[in-house]
Structure 1
Amino acid sequence: MTVQSKEINLDQLGGTIYPETTNGEQLRWHSPLEAPFHIAGFPWLAQDGIYRRLPLASEAVLPPAVDTLAYCTAGGQIRFRTNSSRLVIRVRLAGPANMYHMPPTGQCGVDCYLGEPGEQSFITTAKFKPTESEYESQLYQWDSKKDVAVTLNLPLYQGVEEVWIGVDKDAVVSDAPAYASSRPVIIYGTSITQGGCASRPGMAYSNILSRMIPVEFVNLGFSGNGKGEPELAHIMSEIDDPALFILDYEGNTGEAGNIARTLPAFIEILRERHPEVPILVVSRIYTAEDQFYMERRELHDRRRLIQIENVEQRMAEGDRNIHFVDGFKLLGDDFVVNDCTVDGTHPTDLGFLRMAQSLAPIIKPLLQL
């Protein structure tokens, strides 16, 4: 006998998965592009006025794929303080969720943390239909007014065209609390850097680090396209007063000769404008696939050795502010590594947490915090 399965509708079974109406007309709506909101993660926001991680115009010509991925808002944060009893967000995306190995909440969602820098606690993630590119979602509601510092993490793998913040009509919205330092940390890298495949934006490792080390982190991870082009180094060098550069792009370099060619040039370009800013070179993480594909493991070993040799050479030449971290050690022991990826390559939330926990004690001394 053949038994035909039925479509499962969680709404009908009491497990609501889509948002209920928010009665947004009862709220006062703010654009976070205006004062007193603070937006982190977009160094060229004041110049271009859009949620984009690289400048719209530059003397350096961007690779087309990087130019497109720059619209993904990975690492972008909206920060403010309010005493509103309710917080609602409206978002218009460049497109809907469409990734097989990443939850829509991570690709297209916004999640919310409350608390002072370094003491933030997660409360919820926006609820929306994955097939839609516009949504409105309530993030919290109290019985009475409560003063809180709010951090909203923007989508990791989709562009954001508009954001609106809804609060009580009589609520006060004021400046976000200050960071421990005004100087940003710039992370350049791959899909893993961009946040693939975190379940929600706050679990990308740059965002976890921003809670552990309360400074601005600028996420310049470009999925499949962190290849170390000199154009990217020139653009990164334009960012004012950086506290630290992190180079985590090995995973997209292919043959070992590519990183041997690009890494020295990339570092030299950064050094021309920022001779004393610390640079941290991070090799690729060890993943589940590495224990089964020996040729790939050998390639990673060659590329890691090239990075070590580059850093040691610059140190021998007198660069006191360049450092190396072995990415194979960031996820912990083999038992933990087996459960740290979604698809054998891209980290789960556990993987990203392990990365951040390993990197934080290395980064803090470099920032002198």
Structure 2
Amino acid sequence: MAVQSKEINLDQLGGTIYPETTNGEQLRWHSPLEAPFHIAGFPWLAQDGIYRRLPLASGAVLSPAVDTLAYCTAGGQIRFRTNSSRLVIRVRLAGPANMYHMPPTGQCGVDCYLGEPGEQSFITTARFKPTESEYESQLYQWDSKKDVAVTLNLPLYQGVEEVWIGVDKDAVISDAPAYASSRPVIIYGTSITQGGCASRPGMAYSNILSRMIPVEFVNLGFSGNGKGEPELAHIMSEIDDPALFILDYEGNTGEAGNIARTLPAFIQILRDRHPEVPILVVSRISTAEDQFYIERRDLNDRRRLIQIENVEQRRTEGDANIHFVDGFKLLGDDFVNDCTVDGTHPTDLGFLRMAQSLAPIIKRLLRL
């Protein structure tokens, strides 16, 4: 005789999984678009006034997919210092969570780190109902005032229309700690670069790197659409005084001939405007699926070789500031097959290993 399964509702079973009332009326609310808040990850924020990773008007014709994905706030951070005994965030998203292989906390959530550069510690992630596109969530509450540096990592795979920060009515908000350098690191790539499929925003590899290396990281990962279009290279080249360009887009290029065609042109566009800025070309990471699909492994090998040859050729021609990293080695040697959610996109473990492998290379290139 078949036994019928029952729907499980943790709220009814005594487990509180959704946010409780935050008593927001007892707080003073601030827009992070105003001083002294610092917002990182949006190079055109001052120009356009919205949370968008690419300019609204650039002269370049973007594909509809890239134009839409630019509204995802991957890599965006709100930074400040406060002595408030409470911190509450109010968020209005462009839409609710809707991904099968990525938790709502990663797609639509905001997580919170406290501490000085190099000493930041995770405390919590916003709590919200995945079916809703607006939420208010308390991130911490102390018994008394405590001065802390705060970093809020914004959603990875959803747009943010409004953010408000709630603190004690008599709390002081002041400038975030200074970066080690004012020059940003720009990362261009795929869904993996964008943060798919981290459990929360702070675990995307660009955000992990920002805790290891105290500089601004600009995340220009576009899910399924990091194809090396020259329009994106031109837009990237417009960012003021970059410290480093990282190109991590092999995974979206398809046939080997595509990256053979796009990579030299992409690099040259960056070089025309930034002749001395280091460029780091990173090939695709290994994935759990690679061990079962021989043709895919062969394709990866061909694309990796093309990238190596491009970098070596430019170095032979005198460009000493271009470098290659074999992405196949970024996940390490043990439990590599457990580093992805779906056989392709990293888990938090995968992203952590990527960042740990890349950090010493980036520090050396930045001379930090």
Same fold at TM > 0.5: yes
Equivalents in 1 of 2:194, 2:360: separation in Å? 21
Q: Secondary structure at the match of 1:167?
A: strand
Equivalent position SS for 1:66: helix
CA distance in 2: counterparts of 1:305 and 1:101, whole angstroms: 31
Quote the offset at 1:2 in angstroms.
2.2
- Aligned counterpart, 1:199: 199
Q: Tell me which moved more, 58-67 or 139-148.
A: 58-67
Percent identity (aligned): 96
CA drift of 1:64 comes to: 1.1
1:26 aligns with 2:26: yes
The equivalent of 2:357 in structure 1 is: 358
What displacement does 1:17 show?
0.9
Whole-Å separation in 1 of the counterparts to 2:2 and 2:339: 38
SS at match of 1:319: coil
Deviation track 1:304-357 (CA, whole Å, cap 9, x = no partner) reads 00000000000000001000000000001153x111000000000000000000
Q: Which residue of 2 aligns with 1:253?
A: 253
Query: Unpaired runs of 5+ in structure 2?
Result: none
d(CA) in 2 for partners of 1:324 and 1:244?
A: 13
Deviations 1:94-147 (CA, angstroms, capped at 9, x unpaired):
000000000000000000000011110000000000000000000000000000
Q: Give runs of aligned pairs for residues 221-232 of structure 1, distance below 5 A.
A: 221-232=221-232
3-state SS of paired residue (2:21): coil
Query: Under a length normalisation based on structure 1, what TM-score does the superposition of the two structures give?
Result: 0.99
Shift of 1:176: 0.4
Taking only aligned residues, the RMSD between alpha carbons, in angstroms, comes to 0.5
1:323 is paired with a residue of what secondary structure?
strand
Per-residue CA deviation, residues 76-108 of structure 1 (Å, 9 max, x unaligned), is: 000000000000000000000000000000000
Give the whole-Å Cα distance in 1 for the aligned partners of 2:34 and 2:326: 41
| Structure 1 residue ranges (4+ consecutive) displaced by more than 3 angstroms after TM superposition | none
Gaps of 5+ in 1: none
Aligned partners of 2:266, 2:9: CA distance in 1, in Å? Answer: 52
Counterpart residue number, 1:119: 119
Q: Which moved more, 1:157-166 or 1:326-335?
A: 326-335
Q: CA deviation at 1:14?
A: 2.2
Q: CA deviation at 1:13?
A: 1.7
Q: Which residue of 2 aligns with 1:50?
A: 50
1:296 aligns with 2:328: no
Instruction: Work out the CA distance in 2 between the residues paired with 1:18 and 1:202.
Output: 21
After superposition, the C-alpha distances for 1:188-237 in whole angstroms (9 at most, x for unaligned) are 00000000000000000000000000100000000000000000000000
Write the distance in 2 (CA, Å) between the matches of 1:270 and 1:63. Answer: 20
User: How far apart are 1:61 and its partner, in Å?
Assistant: 1.0
CA shift for structure 1 position 12: 1.9
Deviates more, 1:243-252 or 1:5-14: 5-14
TM-score, normalised relative to structure 2: 1.00
